[in-house]
Chain A
């Protein structure tokens, strides 16, 4: 193996790269845009969900429930209460989407309360939107808990002499409201960094590689004495270098946008550099192995979206892996993104040290070695 030849391939690639900064730009705009849009779209608390309240009981007890409702609404403004006179009107509006849920206090509510006979409130929800549903359910449960705490379980119908202090579970939420979006954007940042490296691998490693191949440029160096391994290593290293540049840029710009504290801590920057470098090499090796036998320039373009979905989402970048079904977990185990995201999160969110990332780094190196080996085995030196 001659290093001069590897460097010649790297030099060729780097010169081409710096001559057309469009690649660098496009590999960074997408992840940054995604970081900002997703960060702001998912980061906010849900507000102003319309709820219908139908009080058929019209008693002191039911008015008490209604008041507690208002107290909740006054807090984070998750809900907006609308009074309805009949259940059927409310149900009609639920089905047409004017309200998201109906709280129904039946005629016998206060009587059953007096009798200690499990008074009931019905909660009829539009369960087509999981986010809204889970948000409402949390609120309703705390409401019911709140009501129950005011009742004496031993003497039905009697209020406790001293009411248990009312927990206001909404205080925490109000603190979150101070920085409404930052937290999720920080969570997303690691994924966006890995994404920028992936895009470089895709464009710089996949698309330009196949385009050069189909333009016949490869024939030019296949007639020289270059070895398969030299060619592959040259292409992977030059691609990885571009990936490292994009990843570093997104780490810094994204870190500023997301408000990562002590971004310039030199020790952490070194660790970040390690994760970014190994991620870039692994990602490029992965892409090269995928493209090693491809010659149609449409293929890398066509599989871009598929790959993006298969690598980005199972990595834990936007949702914790613990929430995945088994088959999806298996994808995440063999996905280099997973280790990149894990390492980056450890560094950026938890400010962890080397212990937290060394396994990720080792796994990424192992990945690269295996993938490069396979690429060399499958690469065709001849046309």
Chain B
């Protein structure tokens, strides 16, 4: 059905409305086979709702989504066979062991006993849970649960994997471990991954392409690099000087490309539309006036800036609007 193009997911004007509230507003995008695609947005942006529509958990109000060549409405069963899903709420059973969780899931997908015996140990191995295979999931640490969920989501060898906020609430070490796993999965041929996150660094490090979602709307979609490039120059040069003269900041402001100069705790922040150029000019000026430069650094555009640019808000601000992570609406 979908063999003529190589898109794993095709979303066309997908919309979800809860009463009067539009959670996802006519969003369109496509996910290429074999890529890691990120949906980036603050709490309440509509990421989970989007994933749920793509994974047949929630019926769309209007629009269309084709996943793995199957329409989510007319061929929900086809979609379900093609995808693995790691929902936002951890869904493995705490009262069962890791192996039992995997086995029951595998049976729901109709795997034979031989397939189960072959796949389950190797999947547990690949997420580093072999020695915990027969431990109750309830006793798992926060970092182990998502790894089990990922292994479980892969038990029927799906073509497409959906991960809803796989690293939220994890410590930095566990997060890195999950990132490494996801990268490894991408290598394993043909697996397409769609994940949601509200961490900039996560989207930046993991994703081939990122869609920025806010208030149910798609604000931007591109590779992380190009998204950053699309934001007009906002490099920040940070410098520390030894005994600068009185009108030093005013002199700095006259340098090429510099827009503002501010001092904070002895560190001078110079906003510029070209960091390297400004640094060169700054060094020349310092030598000329016999001012010592103790330290200088340039910070490039981050996805934070991208988010700010496309939504008019800081991601952190947007997140704090819905700081309390109330998940109760998810199970209505």
Query: Footprint of B on A, CB under 8 Å?
Result: 2, 4-5, 7-9, 11-12, 15-16, 19-20, 213-226, 295, 382-383
Contact = CB atoms under 8 A, between A and B. Distances in A.
B95 A20 contact: yes
A16 B95 contact: yes
A330 B286 CA distance: 97
Residue of A4, A215, A220, A226 with most partner-chain B CB within 10 A: A220
Nearest to B136: A19
Given A224-B80, A225-B77, A383-B331, A219 B96 contact: no
Contacts of B89: 215-216, 219
Nearest first, the 9 A-B pairs at minimum CB distance are A220-B91, A216-B89, A8-B107, A223-B85, A224-B108, A225-B80, A16-B95, A219-B87, A12-B104
A11 B90 contact: no
Interface string B49-90: 000100111110000000000000000010011010101111
A20 B94 CA distance: 12
B56 A5 contact: no
B105 interface: yes
Q: Which of B56, B59, B108, B330 has the most CB of A within 10 A?
A: B108
Contacts, number: 86
A9 B96 CA distance: 13
B85 to A, nearest CB: 4
> Do most interface residues of chain B lie in helix, strand or loop, or is the interface mixed?
loop
Contacts of B95: 15-16, 19-20
16 contacts: A12-B93, A12-B100, A15-B96, A16-B95, A213-B331, A217-B91, A217-B93, A220-B91, A220-B105, A221-B91, A221-B105, A223-B56, A223-B83, A225-B81, A295-B332, A383-B57
Given A8-B104, A216-B90, 14 more contacts: A5-B107, A5-B110, A9-B104, A11-B104, A11-B107, A16-B93, A16-B95, A19-B136, A216-B330, A223-B56, A224-B109, A225-B109, A382-B57, A383-B58
Given A216-B91, A382-B58, A382-B59, A221 B331 contact: no
B311 interface: no
B92 interface: yes
Contacts of A226: 108
A11 B52 CA distance: 27
Contacts of B330: 216, 383
A18 to B, nearest CB: 10
Contact of B331 (A19, A214, A224): A214
Interface string B17-36: 00000000000000000000
B57 A4 contact: no
A295 B55 CA distance: 21
Contacts of A8: 104, 107-108
Given A11-B104, A12-B96, A222 B77 contact: no
B57 A219 contact: yes
Contacts of B332: 295, 383
Contacts of B109: 224-225
Nearest to B80: A225
Nearest to A220: B91
B113 to A, nearest CB: 10
Contacts of B58: 382-383
A223 B109 CA distance: 10
A216 B77 contact: no
Contact of B110 (A2, A15, A213, A221): A2
Nearest to A7: B107
Contacts of A5: 107-108, 110
The CB with the most chain B CB atoms within 10 A, among A4, A213, A218, A224, is that of A224
